[in-house]
Amino acid sequence: MPRCLMLAPFPLAHPRHGGQIRAASLAQGLARSGWQIDTVGLYHADFFAPDERGPLDIVIDDPALARHVSGDMLFGDLHVARAAAGDRAVVNQLASLLRRLQPDVVQVEHPWGWLVLQAALPSGQRPKIVYSSHNIERHARLPLLEFNLNLGHPGTDQLLEATSQLETDFARAADLTISISDIEGALIARETGRAVAYVPPTSDLAEGNHPAHATYRDAAHDSECRYAALMGSAYWPNVEGFFATFPDGLGFLAQDEQLWAAGSLGPALRSDARYRDYQSVNDSRLRTWGYLPDTDKASFFAGACCVIVPVHVGAGAKQKTADALASGLPVITTSHALEGYGPLIGDALGQGVYVADTPSAFRGFVRRALREGLRACPSAVRDRVSLARMAETLAPLYAGLPRGLPQAKITLV
């Protein structure tokens, strides 16, 4: 059985945020294709709880580095990676793992791990290297700098340049680069002159969106309301997306039409000053459910009239879009939220996937979904974000790697 070591800048024992979920789904996809996967997280101890750690994780515990990262969170991953690459003990620990596990392939999630991996790789025959791009890191950071001027500092430009350089170098050095987004895959390919494989995100719901219980449906029935489902974390693009889409609050809904938000996004919205400007109306039309376990997602969607993905910033392809497409409901979204899903949803636009880039248009679709009903996202689209489809995509790509198959066989973007 071929063996793949997955090196990630976070633990993968309990995937929660988008990056973790993406890496975990890739691991699952590969496992389905017959690969043995070992995951190694390389991160600082201060930023992840001990119970999240995996057995092979390399955890850095340097207080000075933690302070440095905390003072410059925007480039925290780069700082940790640079420190790790300069730390002989860390490099040796990774080299030792490579010697012990003898992987055929080392897959690096995000570009950061490449700095350490280069130093840890054996000088002779080395495993094949896969760069798994979650987003173009430079692009992901630029809107952050615009959003929060406090994040910038005199060294910002150099760090952005270093980030960009690292991504390009890694894509050129890797035996295979996979991208979560068709658009970004094309950009990396153009930048590096290398082929890039497009491996879209997956959703657990795609293979099993049968509700485990009727809690949410019953709650909607009891309160005599219909609801649009919204899932997301408190990550700032989600918050900004909400307020860019609903800048004047939720008064466009009648009282028996509501927005139900699952995930840490709900509390983040409620604590925002923009929410409080219209608090009375918003409170009467927004219901928040907090963090939702995976087992509850299908139930949450089952009672809803539609799923909304109001995202206007951020890079890569959004996990919540995959969940929305897999929900079997009408999906109301911005064109930005669909970035990275182009080949998957082209035939569903206006036929289950409804794109609205202005508040007015978005409100109109939500009202239509709640009042008249909209056609649901076709099941064919749901299949395209399934783990089975990912495994089918990954299998030929990785099958050729250990034997050094020519890259022309790779699914090219």
Partner 1 sequence: MLNQGNADFATAGAVHRWSEPTSASPAKPSPPADISAAQRPERLRIHYDASLIMHFGMETPVGLVRVDQYVAEYLARDPTLDLWFLVFDATLASYRRLTPTEHQLLRRILFHRYERSTIASPPPKPPSLFTARLLLRRLRTASTLDAPMFNHMLNYYLDELLPPAPAPGSARDRAARAARQTSLPVARCGHLILYRLTAGVRRALKIDRPAVSPPASDAAPSAEAIHFDSGSVLVSMGNSWDYLDYAYLHRICRKGGVRFVSVIYDVIAMEYPHTTPGPPHVYHRHWVELGHCAAHLLAISRFSAGQYREFIGDPNDLHPSMSHAYLPSVLRDRAGDIGETAVPQLLGRRFVVFCSTIETRKNHQLLLQLWDRLRLEFSNDQLPILVFVGRWGWGTEAVRLLSERNFRLRSRLLILDRTSDAELIWLYRNARFTVFPSLSEGYGLAAAESLSFGTPVVTANCPALLEATESLMPAYDPLDFVAWLAEMRQLIRDDARLDELKSAAARYRGPPYEAFADAIRATAFAVSEPCHAA
Q: At what angle do helices 18-32 and 319-326 cross, to 10 degrees?
A: 60
**Minimum distance from CB of 330 to partner 1 (Å)?**
19
Q: Applying CB under 8 A, does 279 fall inside the site for partner 1?
A: yes
Asked whether 398 and 33 are in contact (CB, 8 A), the reply is yes
Asked whether 251 and 281 are in contact (CB, 8 A), the reply is yes
Residues of this chain, 78-117, that bind partner 1 according to CB under 8 A: none
Rounded-to-integer distance, Cα 143 and Cα 118, Å: 30
Helices (H), 121-181: 137-147, 156-173
Region from 67-75, 109-117, 167-175, 358-366 binding partner 1, contact rule CB under 8 A: 358-366
**Minimum distance from CB of 274 to partner 1 (Å)?**
11
Asked whether 197 and 397 are in contact (CB, 8 A), the reply is yes
Residue 66: how many CB atoms within 10 A of its CB?
A: 18
Q: Which of 143, 251, 378, 402 binds partner 1 (CB under 8 A)?
A: 251
Torsion angles phi and psi, residue 351, rounded to 5 = -125, 45
SS3 243: helix
Residues of this chain, 282-311, that bind partner 1 according to CB under 8 A: 282, 284
**Minimum distance from CB of 228 to partner 1 (Å)?**
15
**Minimum distance from CB of 268 to partner 1 (Å)?**
18
Nearer to partner 1, 241 or 249 (CB): 249
**Minimum distance from CB of 332 to partner 1 (Å)?**
15
Nearer to partner 1, 79 or 226 (CB): 226
Rounded-to-integer distance, Cα 266 and Cα 289, Å: 7
Q: Applying CB under 8 A, does 221 fall inside the site for partner 1?
A: no
User: Per this entry, what is the length of the chain?
Assistant: 413
Residue ranges of E strands in 138-270: 176-179, 196-198, 226-231, 257-262
**Minimum distance from CB of 215 to partner 1 (Å)?**
22
Q: Which of 70, 102, 255, 379 binds partner 1 (CB under 8 A)?
A: 255
Per DSSP, 410 falls in state S
Nearer to partner 1, 248 or 294 (CB): 248
Q: Applying CB under 8 A, does 342 fall inside the site for partner 1?
A: no
SS3 61: coil
Q: Which of 157, 161, 218, 248 binds partner 1 (CB under 8 A)?
A: 248
Q: Which of 146, 277, 294, 392 binds partner 1 (CB under 8 A)?
A: 277
Q: Applying CB under 8 A, does 278 fall inside the site for partner 1?
A: yes
Per-residue CA distances from 103 to 7, 31, 117, 407 (Å):
12, 14, 13, 20
Region from 12-20, 87-95, 161-169, 362-370 binding partner 1, contact rule CB under 8 A: 362-370
Q: Applying CB under 8 A, does 281 fall inside the site for partner 1?
A: yes
Q: Applying CB under 8 A, does 371 fall inside the site for partner 1?
A: no
SS3 305: coil
List of residues contacting partner 1 (CB under 8 A): 247-249, 251-252, 254-256, 276-282, 284, 360, 363-364, 367
